[in-house]
Amino acid sequence: MRKAFLLLLFIGFYSSIYAQVNVKGKVIDKISKESLPGATIQVDGTSRGVVTNEKGEFEIVAPKGSQSLAISFMGYKSQKVSVKPNLTIELESTNTSLNEVVVVGYGTMRKSDVTGSVGKVNVSDIQKVTSIDAARALQGRVAGVNVISNSGSPGAGVRIRIRGIGTINNSDPLYVVDGFPMGDISHIAPTDIESMEVLKDASATAIYGSRGANGVILVKTRTGSKSSKFEVSGTVLTGVSVANKKLDLADATEFANARKSIGMTDDIINYVLDQQAAGNYLKGTDWQKEIYRQAFNTRYNVAISGNTEKYTYDHGITASTEEGVVKGTKLDKFMFHSNNNLKLTDKIKFGMIYNYIHYERPSERNDFYSGTIPGALRSDPISVPFDNYTNFFGEIYYSQAATNPALSIYLAEKQKSIGNRFMGNFYLQFDDLWTEGLSFRSQFGTIMDFNEYKAYSPEYFITPTQKNDISSLNQSRGQGWNWVFTNYFSYNKKFDKLNINATLGTEMQANEYSDIWATGYDVPESASLQYLGAHKDAVLFGLGGGKSENRLQSAFFRGNFSWENKYVLTATVRLDGSSKFLPEQRWGTFPSFAGSWNVNKESFMSGIDKTLSTLKLRAGWGLVGNQGSAGNFDYVSSVNGGYVYSLNGVPTEGAVQLQLANTELTWENSEQFNVGVDFGLFDNSLTGTVDYFIRNTNDMILSKPIPTYAGMKKPAVNAGTMQNKGWEFTLNYANNKNAFKYDLGLNFALIKNEITSLAGGDPIRSGGAGRLGNTTKTEIGREISYFYGYQTDGLFKTQEQLDAYSLNNTPIQPNAGLGDVKFVDRNGDGKITELDMTYLGSASPDITGGFNVNLSYKGFDMVMFFVGSYGNEIVNSMRQTLYNSKMFETNISRDMAINSWTPSNPNSNIPRLNAADLNKNTENFSDLYVEDGSYIRLKNIQLGYTIPSAQSKKFGVNNFRVYTTIDNLLTFTKYTGLDPELFGLYGNPFYYGVDMVNYPQPTTYSVGININF
C-alpha cells in the first residue's frame, strides 16, 4: 500500500512539472534591436512575474493552462504573446510623453490624466552637466522657467523664476524632494536625481496652498537599480576654468596721458610721461591678470544600488573641489545619500532616506564698492600689487578703491564659511487598506543645519588712508531645524470607464533658526591663537544673537476623475494656517479646478492617428498663496531694549518701538488661469506643448510709507497687485529608428509683467548704484523695476549745436561745453531736472528659452545646449567708473582714454574728459548706462564615446563611457559688461537687471569617465 502511494505521488509530481512551461526569452526594441533591461514579464491572469536582466533576458515558469505572457516597459506599448519555451519579444516605442507617469503633489499620475501645466525635465540631460548644483542644471530645460546664475563663483547658487517675477517680495519656488517641502536643493547632486517635474500653474500647485504661488519643483531621488540586484556606478570629472572675458582698460601710460589732459598731474604721472618721451612705454599693472587664474575642478561620485523582492536601495557619495577663476574663491563639498525602500509585506512598505552635506568655502568679496573684481577694474595701473621694499601689499595711488585687489584676495582667504546639513525622511505606506486601491502614507522628514562663519581681519598699515588699526575676529554659529509631518490617504481605482485618483491628507510643518555671534579686537594673527578668548580689548568686545520660528498646519484634498481616458477633471483644495498672521487672519483657503480632453482618443480621430497621434486640450483656474512674502512677526510691533534714560535723576532701563504693527496683515495670494494644448505628430516623432496663462498677484505685501517724524520702520501692509501673462512653447523632435539617432528640443516663453496697483502709494524708487543714485522705478502700468533716467541725444560737437539748445535765448544746459552729453528736455520747460526723466527699458525679457541637441551614432554621442534671452536691458553700473569724465580717482577704459571727444577728435561719441564735469555726464543716470542685455550662450557642448558592451564586459564592466565637455564656450551678446547672465544685487527684485559687477560665468573645459559594474 505504501509503495503504491509513493508511486502515485511520484507520478503526480512529475505530471505537474511537465504541465508547466519553462519560458526563456529576450525583450528588445523593435527598431534598434537593442535589449531592454527592466521590462516586466507577467503570466497573464496571475501575479507571477519577473524583470529582464541587464541583457534584456528573462526566465519564467508558466503554470498549467497559461495562454499568454504580458510584457510592459516604460515608454513602450504593452504587448501580450503566446506562451512558448523560447521567445524573442520586440516592443514598439510609444515615443509619447503622455504615457509617462509624472510625479505630482503627494502622488503620481499618468501624464494623460494631468490637467495642469507640468513640465517634465529630461533627467539624462541634467546628469550630463558638470555643475554640482542641481538647480543650476535646470537652466533652459523647461519653458517659462528662468534660471539665472547669481554669480560664477563656486557655490553661489541661482535664482529661479517660474513664469516671471510674481511679487516684489520672495519669488523663489518651493522645492519638494521625495515628498519633503524645502527652500533649496543644494544637498542633492544631479547624478542622484531620478525624476524632476515643474508645476507651473495654480491647478497644479494648489495642492501646496500657501507655498505654491511661485511654482513648485518636484524632485525624486534614485531609489535603486531597475535592472539588477546589485550595481556599482562611478563618475570621475576633472577640468579647468578660465575667465572668458576681460575688459579693455587703460594701461599706465594711457592713464597718465588722460590725467594730463584734464590737468591732474603729479610727480608719479610726470615720471610715466617722461618715460614715454624717452621711448620707454610703461604698461603698469594689469589688475585683471592679477586677480584671475586658471582654476582646477574635480568631482568624484560613487554609488551602489540594487533591488530584491523585498528591498531596493541606492547609496552614494559625491566629493568635489571647485576653484573659482578669481583667486581665493573655492568650494569644497561632500555629499552622502542613502535611499532605502523595504517591502515588509505585500501591502506594507517602509522607506528611509538619509542625506548629509558638508561644505567649506572662503569668503568672497563681491560688494560693488569694495569687492575684488570691481576693485580690479577701478584700481589705477600705476600702482603695484606688492611692494618689495615694505614686503607687503602696495599702495593704491589714485583709485578710490582703497583696498589693493591683491590685498582684498588675501583678506578674503582669512574668512571662511562652513556648513553641515543632515536630512532624514521616513515613510510607512499601507496599500489596499480595507479595499482595493486605497492606500495610506505617513511621512516624517527633518532637516538640521549647522553653520559656522569665521572672519579674521589683521592689523596692517600701507598709508594713513589704507590701513587697519586694530585686528579683529568675528565668529558666528547658527543652527536651523525644520520638520514636516504628512499623513494622507490615496485612492486609485478604475470602475468600468471611470478612473478615480484621489488624495486626502493633513500636514504640519515647523521651522526654527537661532544664531549667536561675537567679535573680539586686538586678536593675534597667528592661526593657533585666533580665538575669541585671545582678544585684548574687552571694551570693544561685541556679542549678539537671535532666534526666529514659524509654524504651518494644513489639510488638503485632490480628486482626479478620468472618463474613458478622454475627459479628465481635477479639483483641489488646501487649507493653511500660518503662525505669521494673527488668529483672525491665520487661515487661508486655496482651491483650484482644471479639466482636459484627450481628443486623440475619440473615434473620429482614428483616420488620422498616424499623422496627429496625440491631441490634448487643457484649462484650469486656481488660487494659491505666498506666505514667504510675510515675515515671521510682521503683524506685531518690534521692540529693541537696552536703552537707559534718566528719570528724575535715576537711570531707568527702557525699550524703543522699532516698527508699527499691522494686526490686519493677511495672505498674499496669486490667482491663475491657464489654457494649453499637448500634441504629437507623425507617430509622436514631433511632440509639443503650448500654454497661455494669466497670473494675478493680489494683496501683495508692501512696506507702507509713514511720516519721518514717527521714527519707526514702515509697517507691512497688503497693498499691491501685479499681473504676469504670456505664452509658453515646447517642441521636441526625435528620430531613434536608425543607427544615427537624434533628438532636438526647443522651448521658449513670452511673458509680460505689469504692476496693476500700489494701493494709492507712491512709486517705488530703488536700484541705487554708487554716484548714479536710484536706477529703477516701480509704478502702476509698467513692469517691475523698469529703468528710469534721462534720455540723451548724442554730444554737443559744435558750438552751433550748443548755442541752438536753448529756450527763449536761455541755455537749457548752461554748464555744458563741447564734448558734453546732450540731455533731452522732455517736458519743454527749458531746463534739465528730474521731471525730464523717463522710461529707459527694463530687465524683463520679451523671450527666454533653451535649445537642446542630442546626437548619437553607435557608441558616439554629442550634446549641445543653448540658452538665451531677448528683449531685456541691463544697467552697466561700472560705466560710471570706466567712462568717468572726471576720472574720479579711478582707472578708465582704454576706449575713454584714447577715443573720448577732443577738439582734434570732434566726431567721437564718447564724452570728453573734464575734471569738473559740471554737466554731470557721469553722475546723471541716463540711457548711456542702459545696454541691450539680449544673449545666446552655448551653455554646454559634450562629446562622448561608450565602449561596446561586448568589449567592456570582458573586463567585468557593464558600461564604460569617456567624454569631454565645455561649459560657456560661446556667448553672443552686445552687452559690454562682464556677463549678460545676471539677476541683480543679492536677488533683490528692485535691482533686477542692475549689474553691480557680477562674478562672471567662467568657461570650463572638462574630461570625465562614467563606469558601471
Q: Beta strands of 522-611 (E only): which ranges?
A: 542-563, 567-578, 587-598
pLDDT of residue 6: 44
Which band of pLDDT confidence, cut at 50, 70 and 90, is reported for residue 706?
A: low
Residue 359 placed within a domain: no
> Residue 202 pLDDT > 90, yes or no?
no
**What's the alpha-carbon Rg for the chain, to the nearest Å?**
33
Bridge partners (DSSP) listed for residue 203 = none
Percent over 70 (pLDDT), the chain:
94
Identity of residue 304: I
Measure the CA–CA gap between 453 and 360, rounded to whole angstroms: 10
The tens digit of pLDDT for each residue in 955-988 reads 778 888 999 999 999 999 999 999 999 888 777 8
Q: What are the φ and ψ backbone dihedral angles of 749, each rounded to 5 degrees?
A: -140, 145
Span of 653-662, 668-677, 761-770 with lowest mean pLDDT: 653-662
d(CA 812, CA 828): 9
Supply the pLDDT for residue 319: 94
- Give the integer Cα–Cα distance in Å for 514 and 479: 6
Nearest-10 Cα torsion for 774, 780, 782, 786 = 10
Percent of the chain past pLDDT 90, that is, above it, reads 51
| Residue 1010: φ, ψ to 5° | -115, 135
Is 777 part of any domain?
A: no
Q: What is the residue type of 444?
A: F
CATH label of the domain that carries residue 60: 2.60.40.1120
Rounded CA separation 371/452 (Å):
22
User: CA angle at residue 120 from 300 to 693, to 5 degrees?
Assistant: 135
User: For residue range 835-848, what is the model confidence (pLDDT) as tens digits?
Assistant: 999 999 999 999 99
Task: For residues 875-885, give the mean pLDDT.
Answer: 93
This prediction's pTM: 0.85
Residue 121's pLDDT is what? 82
Per-residue model confidence (pLDDT) at position 452: 94
| Amino acid identity for residue 743 in this structure | D
The answer to whether 867 touches 971, Cβ cutoff 8 Å, is no
Q: For 39-48, 329-338, 951-960, 973-982, which range has the lowest pLDDT when averaged over its residues?
A: 39-48
State which residues form the domain around 44: 20-91
Give dist(CA 938, CA 917) in Å, integer.
42
Is 592:571 a contact under the CB 8 Å cutoff?
A: yes
Q: What is the pLDDT of residue 1?
A: 46
Judge whether 408 and 365 are in contact, CB under 8 Å: yes
- The separation between the first and the last C-alpha atoms of the chain, rounded to the nearest angstrom, is 57
Per-residue confidence (pLDDT) for residue 93, from 0 to 100: 65
How many domains does the chain contain in total?
Answer: 2
Does residue 758 lie within any of the structural domains?
A: no
DSSP helix/strand/coil, 236: strand
Asked if pLDDT for residue 233 goes beyond 70, the answer is: yes
CA 931 to centroid of chain Cα atoms: 24
| Cα separation, 171 vs 164, whole angstroms | 9
Q: Are 590 and 624 in contact (CB under 8 A)?
A: yes
Using CA atoms, how far residue 882 sits from 465, 586, 892, in Å, is 23, 52, 4
Instruction: Please state, in angstroms and rounded to a whole number, the distance separating the CA atoms of residues 693 and 619.
Output: 10
Last residue of a domain, one of 66, 91, 116: 91
Whole-angstrom CA distances from 156 to 61, 171, 335, 364 are 56, 18, 17, 10
Q: Considering the domain boundaries, does residue 739 fall inside one? A: no
Provide the sign of the torsion angle of the four alpha carbons 172, 176, 177, 183, taken in this order: positive
Residue 35 lies in a domain: yes
From start to end of 626-772, where are the E strands? 638-647, 650-659, 669-681, 686-703, 716-735, 740-757, 764-766
Q: Is the pLDDT reported for residue 480 higher than 70? A: yes
CA quadruple 796, 801, 806, 811: dihedral positive or negative?
positive
> Residue 457, SS3?
strand
pLDDT of 945:
92
Please state, in angstroms and as integers, the Cα–Cα distance from residue 720 to each residue in 693, 726, 764, 784, following that order.
Answer: 20, 21, 12, 12
Sheet holding 776-778, edge to edge: 764-766, 776-778, 786-789, 838-839
Q: What pLDDT is attached to residue 10?
A: 41
Any domain includes 851: no
AA letter at 610: K
Strand pairing report for 216-221 and 193-199:
antiparallel
Residue 351 or residue 399, greater confidence: 351
Q: Is the pLDDT at 194 greater than 70, yes or no? A: yes
Return the SS3 of 877.
coil
Q: How far is CA 761 from CA 733, 756, 789, 990, in A?
A: 50, 12, 21, 16
Give 604-640 as a 3 state SS string: HHHHHCCCEEEEEEEEEEEEEECHHHCCCCCCCCEEE
- Residue holding cell 505689469? 754
The residues, any chain, with a CB within 8 Å of residue 957's CB and separated by 6 or more, are 947, 1011, 1012, 1013
Task: Report the pLDDT averaged over residues 106-118.
Answer: 77
* Residue whose cell numbers read 501646496: 208
Please name the helix (run of DSSP H) or strand (run of DSSP E) that holds residue 803, with its range, or none.
Answer: helix 799-804
Tell me how far apart the alpha carbons of residues 823 and 672 are, in angstroms, rounded to a whole number. 43
In this structure, of 36-45, 401-410, 755-764, 765-774, the range with the lowest mean pLDDT score is 36-45
Give the amino acid at 648: N
Q: Percentage helix, strand, coil, to 5, in the chain?
A: 15, 50, 35
In a domain, 28, yes or no: yes
**pLDDT attached to residue 151:** 81
Distance separating alpha carbons of residues 693 and 620, to the nearest angstrom? 9
Cβ-based neighbours of 728, under 8 Å, separated by 6 or more: 117, 143, 144, 163, 200, 689, 690, 691, 692, 693, 747, 748, 749
Please, which residues bridge with residue 58 across strands? 25
pLDDT digits (tens, 9 = 90+) for 764-786: 899 998 889 999 999 999 999 99
In this structure, the dihedral spanned by the alpha carbons of residues 402, 404, 407 and 411, taken in order and rounded to 10 degrees, is 30
CA nearest neighbour of 359 among 133, 193, 190: 133
Predicted pLDDT of residue 812: 95
**Chain segment 728-755, per-residue pLDDT in tens:** 999 999 888 788 888 999 999 999 999 9
Residue 555 lies in a domain: no
Q: What CA–CA distance (Å, rounded) separates 463 from 455?
A: 23
Domain boundary among 52, 71, 91: 91
Longest dimension (CA), the chain: 136
Helix (H/G/I), strand (E/B), else coil: 214: coil
Selected residue with higher pLDDT from 729 and 30: 729
Domain end marker among 91, 113, 133: 91
**Strand-pair category, 873-876 with 994-995:** parallel
Per-residue DSSP letters for 889-949? SS--BHHHHHHS-BTTBTT--SPPP-SS-TT-TTTS-BTTSEEE--EEEEEEEEEEEE--H
Are 478 and 545 within 8 A, CB to CB? no
Supply the DSSP string of 18-48, one letter for each residue. HHSEEEEEEEEETTT--B-TT-EEEETTSS-
